[in-house]
Structure 1
Amino acid sequence: MAKVKKQPRPKAITPKGFRDYFGAEVTQRTEMLHAIAGVYHRYGFDALESSAVETVEALGKFLPDVDRPNEGVFAWQETDESGQGDWMALRYDLTAPLARVYAQHRNDLPTPYRRYAMGPVWRNEKPGPGRYRQFYQCDADTVGTASMAADAEICAMLSDTLETVGIPRGDYLVRVNNRKVLNGVLEAMGLEEGAASRDDVLRTIDKFDKVGEEGVHQLLTKGRLDASGAYIDGVGLSEEQAAPVLTFLTSKAADTAGTLENLRAAVGDSKIGAEGIAELEQIGALLAAGGYGPDRIEIDPSVVRGLGYYTGPVFEAELTFEILDEKGRKRQFGSVAGGGRYDGLVKRFTGQEVPAVGVSIGVDRLLAALREKGRLATQPTGPVVVTVMDRDRMADYQAMVTELRNAGIRAEVYLGNPKNFGNQLKYADKRHSPVAVIEGGDEKENGVVQIKDLILGAKIAENATLEEWKERPSQFEVPRTDLVAKVREILESQG
């Protein structure tokens, strides 16, 4: 009889491009989302939680400005008996689902509709350092108004959000541009809508933040060598044709008035370009009236995010402080949020253009920035641990932990083998517990408990002399009735 082949055990590995998040990281993210939601709510936005799965048809073009139709998402087909059925996909952002929700429920929603949404999104892209296939986004959008007050409000709210979560003024800048101004530049160049080279020019401009002014110049004209040594063909524009684009990208002046004047020169007689400049002027005036100066929000024509996707103003929040990369080189942290006006997205469902503007915050990048600045606790705080000295008295220990929890103190009873008390303290140390509660037979008989300040004890053990041990006790004996009060006092002393 043939020997049955043993089924191999599955490998305990995280799928490529994904990662696991443990206690402290999850807590930090939850607290950040709560803080961001507080700002959004204060601005009058309502929460929306839409499905993580949408039909491929509803999602439409995947990943704005990525020329890979039907790629970039995790999709599957739900087939019926005939083998036919809808294609479904995990959402790749929170904006495409909003367009579907608004189109579906618009008769029941107020106009404008102001919503915020938070949650994971999934992208079937090649993973890399710090680039995962699942990550959190935190969006706020206003649908149903063309007023530039909505755009200015989103920028102001983004500024307030960054400061609320711990990025101080001076460490960030919200930069604003307008797609219409670029359209005016292209129009002035003679590249009308539908021109063969127009999309090539847009794609090249979109690389400005990666390759800089000279790189864009080379790509607009004859081409360039990339970092790997490969030659990339240029669009083939003449020097005269490329000049207006470079003027546009580098038109930022010392103040807003100067920048707008440079942009007027760049767009020439273009009507759409003049319209875009007027919108930027409105946004600047509204922000100034609200007290948001150029130290927080500025007009910057070099912002070129998603130019094929947005229809008007675009904005990006950039952290301006320096960090060290993996090779020890200084560099700026970079972008943590972005958005803009997208007046064509809902039209796919309704046939009518519906104005909309929104912003998306990359929560994971923002958390990473706060860690770099030392504004997140690197050491998590665990629960108070009630140790077990007598397994037959588990009810007594459960009563203690219940009292602590009812007083709002995070606590647990040690549930391992209580035979070795040292192992219980090792467990508490591994849990980063601030306090251990001890009640043996003698303490029970005398109506007292021992309360050990584990944080102070660790500090004393590391640094203190014998005399300091005596002056600063880390373990206290208190009446059993004072358990909660003493634990709270120790926790407050630990900050």
Structure 2
Amino acid sequence: MQKLKKDQRPEARLPKGFQDTGPADARALARMLTTIREVYESYGFEPLETSAIEYTDALGKFLPDLDRPNAGVFSFQDEDEQWLSLRYDLTAPLARYVAENYDRLPKPYRRYATGPVWRNEKPGPGRFRQFTQFDADTVGSESVAADAEICMLAADTMERLGIKRGDYVLKVNNRKVLDGVMEAIGLAGEEHAASRLTVLRAIDKLDRLGVEGVRALLGKGRKDESGDFTKGAGLDEAQIAKVIGYVSVEAAASWRETVARLRAVLDDTAVGREGLDELDEIAALAEGSGYGADRIRIDPSVVRGLEYYTGPVFEAELTFKVTGDDGQPVRFGSVGGGGRYDDLVARFTGQRVPATGFSIGVSRLLSALQYLKKGESNAGHGPVVVLVMDRKDLPRYQRLAQRLRQAGISAEMYLGTSGMKAQMKYADRRGAPCVVIQGGDEIAKGEVQIKDLIEGAKASETIKDAKEWREGRPAQFSVSEDQLVSAVKGVLERHSGD
């Protein structure tokens, strides 16, 4: 086979904004997804898988990054010159699916879905072009009870994943209340759409920039620590005061009191009143089911970036503090969000179909859980490895591995061609809890040797020299072939907590 010249070889490199997932993280991810799925199904949601690729016009343009309006999705043309795009979330494909199958679906229709989504955005720390979401949505219900249930679902999911009460909060607001604020400062109507978006973006930065940072972005603009200047919304002092008065309302001990505080600072607009009434109703439903303000609370700064939200909006935020490897505090912030989108299906049908849902950012939440449980073993053990001492005995070694598998033990026969030392190194890299050794002497005696690699690693920390190692032969013992399965199970049980 002709070798490629050095300058003809492709460079082995991962594209910016993408990541590989190794065995330990893949296993942790699978466990986390199983837990989320169990919670979603306990609420009666059913699975649905939609295509990763949709017609571009079906997805619509709802991404918040107006600086890159035509580059927010990865798109290409097919042989019919139709534009196709990789989905940027799981909600837009759901709207297409509901519109296409509306007559045969139960109403309300409750579905959950998980899978990768893609956004053609500038990558950065913690910001990837491919990431995984896990959604639950109720389509076809106008009842605010559906929104309250989504809030409870999100809270239950956090706790089932091991996040203690007090280490997370589900924050709730209402786009109608925000619309009331916009109307009160004279920004109602399509002609002010761009200005409204700038104001909403400023409000959304309250947690990060504080009141004064938001005030600057509502006015002429703000210069950050690097010297970069962000142009502001250009509001006057009276308009800024109304917005700051709204976002500065502090959550009370109860939802009802928080809503009362918001009513006191908001101008009396019809849309604002409707939004506050819906928050009041969500409060009554959540509190009536035992979900107090320690788990779910109203937060006037919650905006949510996607433009298709029409009512209540939600954001799951982690509040616990952890320290990174550099000794600096790590803040995870939002790990999921959602809201009501009553007009999305209507893009296809022309008929209003109410809907509400919640989406978990799987990668960010997994990272947070790994920090939260730092020090706990996450990887699990690899397979038991049956070493190959003589290649003419391969059928014998394969039978040993098969016996272990039939007993429910993950096992493999070494498939390389290297000697004993390299095979042991391989088993170590595979995270094997033990290896099975059967040379000529063991075959003659009808025995196998089992080397406990975990116990051996512990012993190596205390044994001082090679002589002591040879004399002790730590964590290595012989059993009859008939006892292979029970002996290996004994090793696994001994280290089940490691």
TM-score using structure 1 length: 0.93
Instruction: State the Cα deviation string for residues 259-306 of structure 1 (Å, max 9, x = none).
Output: 111110222321211111111111112111222122211111121222
The percent of aligned pairs where both chains have the same amino acid is 56
1:48 maps to which residue? 48
Aligned to 2:147: 151
Amino acid corresponding to residue 205 of structure 2 in structure 1: K
Instruction: From the superposition, tell whether residues 73 and 198 of structure 1 become closer, same or farther in structure 2 (CA, over 3 Å).
Output: closer
CA distance in 2 between counterparts of 1:317 and 1:11 reads 40
User: CA offsets, 1:379-426, max 9 Å, x none?
Assistant: 4421000111221111111111111111111100011225x2122111
CA contact (8 A) 1:65 1:308 kept: no
Pair 1:112 & 2:113 matched:
no
Whether 2:439 is the aligned partner of 1:440: answer yes
Tell me which residue corresponds to 2:162.
Answer: 166
Stretch moving more, 202-211 or 116-125: 202-211
Looking at structure 2, the residues matched to 7 and 232 of structure 1 have their Cα atoms a distance apart, in angstroms, of 44
User: In structure 2, what is the Cα distance between the partners aligned to 1:200 and 1:74?
Assistant: 25
Q: Distance in 1 between matches of 2:232 and 2:17?
A: 33
SS at match of 1:107: helix
Separation in structure 2 between the aligned mates of residue 64 and residue 230 of structure 1, nearest angstrom = 20
State whether structure 2 residue 39 is matched by structure 1 residue 39. Answer: yes
* SS of the residue 1:491 aligns to: helix
CA–CA separation in structure 1 for the residues paired with 2:197 and 2:443:
80
Q: Cα 1:68–1:427, aligned 2, differ >3 Å: closer, same or farther? A: closer
Aligned residue for 1:71? 71
Return the letter of the residue paired with 1:208: L
Deviation readout 1:149-185 (Å, 9 max, x if unpaired): 1111111111111122222222111111111111122
2:256 and 2:283 in contact (8 A); partners too: no
Distance in structure 1 (CA, Å) of the matches to 2:65 and 2:351 = 22
Contact preservation (8 Å) 2:173, 2:298: yes
Residue 360 (structure 1) aligned with residue 359 (structure 2):
yes
User: Shift of residue 470 of structure 1?
Assistant: 8.9
CA distance in structure 2 between the partners assigned to 1:112 and 1:315 by the alignment: 20
Counterparts of 1:471 and 1:74, CA distance in 2: 61
Q: Which moved more, 1:180-189 or 1:427-436?
A: 180-189
CA contact (8 A) 2:134 2:359 kept: yes
Separation of aligned partners in 2, 1:161 and 1:471: 49
Alignment of 1:112-261 (within 5 A): 112-196=108-192, 197-255=195-253, 256-261=255-260
User: Which shows bigger deviation, 56-65 or 185-194?
Assistant: 185-194
Partners in 2 of 1:328 and 1:243 — Cα distance? Answer: 39
Following superposition, the deviation at residue 361 of structure 1 comes to 0.6
- The answer as to 2:290 corresponding to 1:291 is yes
Q: What do residues 302-359 of structure 1 show as CA deviations (whole Å, max 9, x unaligned)?
A: 2122274311111111111123357643243211111111111111001111111111
Select between 306-315 and 324-333 the one with higher mean Cα deviation: 324-333
One-letter amino acid of the counterpart of residue 428, structure 2: D
Structure 1 residues 6 and 447, CA, compared in 2 at 3 Å: closer, same or farther?
closer
What do residues 91-127 of structure 1 show as CA deviations (whole Å, max 9, x unaligned)? Answer: 1111110010010011111111111111111111111
User: Distance in 2 between the 1:66 and 1:417 partners?
Assistant: 57
Name the amino acid aligned to 2:230.
I
Alignment of 1:329-408 (within 5 A): 329-374=328-373, 377-408=377-408
1:314 maps to which residue?
A: 313
- SS at 2:235 equivalent: coil
User: Aligned partners of 1:57 and 1:417: how far apart in 2?
Assistant: 55
Q: Check conservation: 1:62, 1:92, Cα contact below 8 A.
A: no
Residue 186 of structure 1, CA deviation? 2.2
Query: Within 2, Cα distance between the matches of 1:266 and 1:451?
Result: 73
Between 244-253 and 302-311, the greater mean CA deviation after superposition: 302-311
Over 3 Å counting, the alpha-carbon distance change for 1:50 and 1:438 in structure 2 is: same
Q: CA deviation at 1:210?
A: 3.7
Matched, 1:494 2:495: yes
- The question of 1:451 aligning with 2:450 is answered yes
Displacement of 1:208? 3.0
Change (3 A) 1:163 1:470: farther
TM-aligned CA deviation for residue 57 of structure 1? 0.7
Amino acid at match of 1:452: K
Distance in 1 separating the partners of 2:33 and 2:429 = 27
Q: Contact between 1:62 and 1:69, CA under 8 Å: does it hold in 2?
A: no
Q: Distance in 1 between matches of 2:65 and 2:435?
A: 56
Is the Cα contact below 8 Å between 1:208 and 1:304 reproduced in 2?
no
Q: Compute the displacement of 1:50 (Å).
A: 0.4
User: Deviations for 1:30-79, whole angstroms, at most 9, x for unmatched residues?
Assistant: 22111111111111001010000000010111424645332211101114
Question: In the alignment, is the contact (CA less than 8 A) between 1:62 and 1:72 conserved in 2?
Answer: no
Q: Which residue of 2 aligns with 1:59?
A: 59
Alignment check: 8 A CA contact 2:172 2:297 kept:
yes
**Paired amino acid for 1:475:** Q
2:134–2:362 contact (8 Å) kept in structure 1: yes
The alignment's C-alpha RMSD in Å is: 2.4
Relative to 1, partners in 2 of residues 1:200 and 1:454: Cα closer, same or farther, differing over 3 Å?
closer
Residues of 2 paired with 1:138 and 1:23: CA distance?
A: 21
In 2, Cα distance between equivalents of 1:331 and 1:430: 31
Query: 1:185·1:266 contact (CA, 8 Å) conserved in 2?
Result: no
**Corresponding letter in the other structure for 1:238:** D
Structure 1 stretch 208-217 or stretch 198-207: which is displaced more? 198-207
CA distance in structure 2 between the partners assigned to 1:201 and 1:414 by the alignment: 62
CA separation in 1, counterparts of 2:326 and 2:151?
A: 34
Tell me the TM-score normalised to structure 2 length.
Answer: 0.92
Residue 465 (structure 1) shift: 7.5
Alpha-carbon displacement from aligned partner over 1:188-222 (angstroms, at most 9, x marks no partner): 33332335343443343333344321122122223
Instruction: Specify the alignment match of 2:263 in structure 1.
Output: 264
Q: C-alpha separation between the residues in 2 aligned to 1:216 and 1:203? A: 9
Q: Partner of 1:321: helix, strand, or coil? A: coil
**What number of residue pairs does the alignment pair up?**
487
